[in-house]
Amino acid sequence: MAENDTTLLKVVAGSRLMNVSKYMTEQGIVVPHGECPLVAVGGHTQSGGYGHTLRFMVVLTDYVKSFRIVLADCSYISVYRPNMDPPARLSKVSDNDDIFFSVLGGGLGSFGVVVEYSYECVKDDDHPHSTGHSSTTKYSKKRFEPLFDTIQQYMMDCEKGDLDDDIDMMCTAISFDMDQLSVLEDWLPGSGTPQGRPTNNTADASSAGSSVTTSGTSIVDEEDDGRGFGIFLKGFIAVELLYGNRSGQPDTTSPSVADCFEKVYKNMLGNWLLAPTYVDFYATEHHGLLNMCDTWVRNYLIDGREFAYPYLKRFNATFQPLTKPFKDGFMQLVHDAISDNRVRVVFQIGLGGSQRRDHVNRKYTAVQRRDLMIGIGFDIFYTEGHKELAEGYQAKMKELLEETVKEKDTVKMIWASFGNTNIEEVWRKYYDSPEMYDRLRRIKYNLDPTTCSALSSRSRRPRAIGAPRLRKTAY
């Protein structure tokens, strides 16, 4: 519900991202968020809410103005951001600031059950020159390489402080699946079928597939080998760029942001290949933040994911730019997986928010890892009988990371989503500093002494942080 204050949005915790995003778009308001349609804001807000606008808008948590929560002692209270006053005649509870801090980023579900959030949204009209670029082209290794080079260049610029803090970039590689067209329909909405609607009709599949040549003049690709994919399509690569127009004034950078985006797009196509490409929107025109953000919520109707197969999920992040050995090994891994029709791959890479360490609301929440340089999702879906193969691809990814990224440079983001879930052994991987973790433990003890003493008498060690177990999605 949007209140009279047109930037305030109240959302019940079970609301799905796809519905919240659609509603905000209708209201002309926006907050940063991730892209998975069926994720609910209940957990998403507590885990940060990282998405396509990480550099420009940082994380969803920073936009929380207040929330209502049931604590362990069954009290049902309102909690306000420390720099906010409660409405007239209401007052803050004594632990207000600690609860706000720890619920938002401290450990999913560890401090109570959130019932409702109020977000302070950004008005789309305040950024009249925002724009972006979104396009999808046929996957080929030759096209993937220059795109990866561009990513590396962005990372270097990001590290040197040369990349404007209102520019975001996200790149994706995804298998094509003849039987499950939700991917095709979502990435290529011009293909004629309603966006996101799954179909198992092979005849429809072929005709929709042939419309991939939306804007390319012809298909010329030396890597077309037709291995098991009927229409010579292994997968797609997509690039999504956003210019948030923080100042609200026309862009005067030289070269202009639109020109830079155009260059990335041309890199993706390669130097001389004519590629079948679908351009969703193009930086030469103004595109509202909210429309771009809403477009980037993937409205897959198959179980909220790209494919209806079971999958092994992996997400890795680092504070350092990627190294060449990682790049070379990873590109080969993606290529092998995308060429293997027993599995489906979804790879995604997003640039970090390392210039936004000083966000005004940062100090009020315990969100960890917001300064990450790069986040990489690598999910392997597997067809019947090929789970071991998927495990093999994930094992290779793990090996590659171990070989090419220093242990100290790897970070993890959501506790219990990786192998070892014993928080006492792994907390250093999930929390930015011992001070942060200790503070959260102290708050947990204050708020929930009964559970804490029960746990500590059983384990003989205090165990303050630790949500109920999440579904294990990676190792």
Kindly tell me which of 100 and 265 has the beta carbon lying closer to ligand FAD.
Answer: 100
For residues 447 and 75, the answer to whether their CB atoms sit within 8 Å is: no
Candidates 32, 37, 51, 235; binder of ligand FAD (CB under 6 A) is: 51
| Assigned token pair, 269 | 């196509």
- Site map 71..110 versus ligand FAD, x via CB under 6 A: -------------------------------------xx-
We find the least distance from the C-beta atom of residue 62 to ligand FAD, in angstroms, to be 13
Nearest-5° Cα angle at 352, 291 to 146: 85
Task: Figure out which of the listed residues 2, 8, 36, 178 binds ligand FAD, where binding follows CB under 6 A.
Answer: 36
State which of residues 8, 72, 302, 467 lies at the interface with ligand FAD (CB under 6 A): 467
Query: Closest CB to ligand FAD among 212 and 238?
Result: 238
Give yes or no for a contact between 208 and 214, defined as CB atoms under 8 angstroms apart.
no
Shorter beta-carbon distance to ligand FAD: residue 273 or 467: 467
- Min CB(121)–ligand FAD separation in Å: 17
Asked if 352 touches ligand FAD (CB under 6 A), the answer is: no
Confirm or reject binding of residue 43 to ligand FAD (CB under 6 A). Answer: yes
Give 344-406 as a DSSP string.
EEEEEEEE--TT-TT-TTGGGS----TT-SEEEEEEEEE-TT-HHHHHHHHHHHHHHHHHHS-
Residues 303-342, one symbol each (x = binds ligand FAD by CB under 6 A, - = not), give --x-------------------------------------
Among 166-174, 187-195, 255-263, 462-470, the segment contacting ligand FAD (CB under 6 A):
462-470
Pair of tokens at residue 41:
């804001």
**Is 47 a binder of ligand FAD (CB under 6 A)?**
yes
- Kindly indicate which of the ranges 47-55, 94-102, 176-184, 434-442 contains the residues binding ligand FAD, using the contact rule CB under 6 A: 47-55
Nearest approach in angstroms of CB 240 to ligand FAD is 12
Q: Tell me how far, at minimum, the Cβ of 113 lies from ligand FAD, in Å.
A: 4
Which residue's CB is nearer to ligand FAD, number 146 or number 304? Answer: 304
CB of 188 to ligand FAD, least distance (A): 21
Instruction: Assess contact for 169 and 241: CB atoms under 8 A.
Output: yes
Total binding residues for ligand FAD by CB under 6 A?
Answer: 22
Q: Which of 81, 76, 74, 71 is nearest to 118 (CA)?
A: 81
Residues 6 or more apart in contact with residue 440 via CB below 8 angstroms: 102, 106, 107, 110, 366, 431, 464, 465
What is Dmax (Cα atoms) for the chain?
71
CB of residue 16 vs ligand FAD: minimum separation in angstroms? 8
Residue 82: is the preceding peptide bond cis (ω within 30°)? no
Contact status, residue 300 vs residue 183, Cβ threshold 8 Å? yes
Contacts of 153 (CB under 8 A, 6+ apart): none
- Three-state SS for 28-95 is CEECCCCCCCCCEHHHHHHCCCCCCCHHHHCCHHHHEEEEEEECCCCCEEEEECCCCCCCCCCCCCCC
Binding site for ligand FAD (CB under 6 A): 13, 34-36, 39-40, 42-44, 47-51, 108-109, 113-114, 305, 467-468, 470
